[in-house]
Amino acid sequence: MAQDTYWASFEEISKYNVSLNYAERLWLAWYTYMQNDVLATGILSFTMHEAVYFGRSLPWIIIDAIPWFRRYKIQQNKVPTAYEQWQCAFLVLLSHFTVELPQIWLFHPMCQFFGLSTTVPFPSIYKMAFQIAVFFVMEDTWHYWTHRAMHWGPLYKNIHKIHHQYSAPFGLAAEYASPIEVMVLGLGTVGSPILWCAITKDLHILTMYLWIVLRLFQAIDAHSGYEFPWSLHHFLPFWAGAEHHDVHHERFIGNYSSSFRWWDYFLDTEAGPEAAKRRREKKMAKAKKAQ
Ligand SMILES: [Zn+2]
Ligand SMILES: [Zn+2]
């Protein structure tokens, strides 16, 4: 049923698959038109990553250029220069094309190996939301421990130091890191759904894509350097957000999780002056009890 152009494929598919919704027809037309699943998944994944990464970073670049927004900047005196942003974007792009692109061709075979579905119809929105929530919790746990390990002397000096070049982060700096770090931390993002699928045998590749898009949003926003009265953690107190990760870049220690605050809270690794004060008070209370 493959046609010469994508839209011809789409029309052909629409004729015979009336039960499918618009998005499902777009999806099926892509795989039919490509006639090569590895290429279809690879191109889709890479394009999606680039579009989301730079698309989501763009509003933050614009916000950095507008002085009015300075009132919401966490480290107000450290606004990135245009040159810093260009340099960062260039290095991130270089890493995407040299490190990520060659690996992305393994993505479809890996999905097939673990039994991810690429067919239509798509799973229900409720199922996708539930699975994505589970991935957020899994990835956050992986991120907490591996990121904390990265702050151990030798690993920090040889790998993680690159990511800490910016003590006041900005959106584009989310993936500014050593390729080794990208692979180790990225394993939490890609490995969580893969592990889920290996156990439950129930995952659609679209759910994986949506999860990766949301995780990218989370990472870029956490690096944005802006804290608003309407930031998510004001409504969901366990959500980490920019306020949480900005302090990590400023102080180089504490706040190791990605999406949630619970690991740092329960293991007493929260960063910043308020957390230090809480720790001091706890110590003093303990000392008093011991007397
Ligand atoms: Zn770090
Ligand atoms: Zn960071």
Q: How far is the CA of 263 from the centre of ligand 1 (A)?
A: 15
* Structure tokens belonging to residue 264: 């740092």
The ligand placed nearest to the CA atom of residue 151 is: 1
Q: How far is the CA of 235 from the centre of ligand 1 (A)?
A: 26
Query: Where residue 85 falls among pLDDT bands split at 50, 70, 90?
Result: very high
Q: How far is the CA of 121 from the centre of ligand 1 (A)?
A: 41
For the chain, strand residue ranges (E) read none
Total-model pTM? 0.91
- Domain extents in the chain: 36-290
Mean of pLDDT values over 61-75:
93
The ligand placed nearest to the CA atom of residue 169 is: 2
The answer to whether 242 touches 219, Cβ cutoff 8 Å, is no
Which residue, chain included where needed, has tokens 């804290």? 227
* Structure tokens belonging to residue 78: 């450290």
Of 82 and 131, the structure prediction assigns the larger pLDDT to 131
DSSP 8-state symbol, 123? P
Distance CA 4, CA 213 (A): 30
Mean of pLDDT values over 239-267:
93
The ligand placed nearest to the CA atom of residue 221 is: 2
Distance CA 281, CA 267 (A): 16
Q: How far is the CA of 150 from the centre of ligand 1 (A)?
A: 7
pLDDT value at residue 176: 94
Distance CA 270, CA 276 (A): 8
Q: How far is the CA of 199 from the centre of ligand 1 (A)?
A: 31
The answer to whether 120 touches 24, Cβ cutoff 8 Å, is yes
Does the structure show a pLDDT above 80 at 2?
no
The ligand placed nearest to the CA atom of residue 152 is: 1
Q: How far is the CA of 19 from the centre of ligand 1 (A)?
A: 48
Q: How far is the CA of 176 from the centre of ligand 2 (A)?
A: 8
Q: How far is the CA of 93 from the centre of ligand 2 (A)?
A: 17
Q: How far is the CA of 221 from the centre of ligand 1 (A)?
A: 16
Phi, psi (deg, nearest 5) at residue 252: 65, 5
Kindly state the percentage of the chain with pLDDT values over 70: 99
- Which residues, including other chains, have CB under 8 Å from residue 167's CB and lie 6 or more apart? 75, 78, 249, 250, 252
* Structure tokens belonging to residue 170: 């900005």
Query: Where residue 1 falls among pLDDT bands split at 50, 70, 90?
Result: low
Q: How far is the CA of 132 from the centre of ligand 2 (A)?
A: 22
Q: How far is the CA of 161 from the centre of ligand 1 (A)?
A: 8
Residue 134: its H or E element: helix 125-150
pLDDT value at residue 273: 79
Q: How far is the CA of 220 from the centre of ligand 2 (A)?
A: 9
Distance CA 99, CA 105 (A): 12
Q: How far is the CA of 168 from the centre of ligand 2 (A)?
A: 9
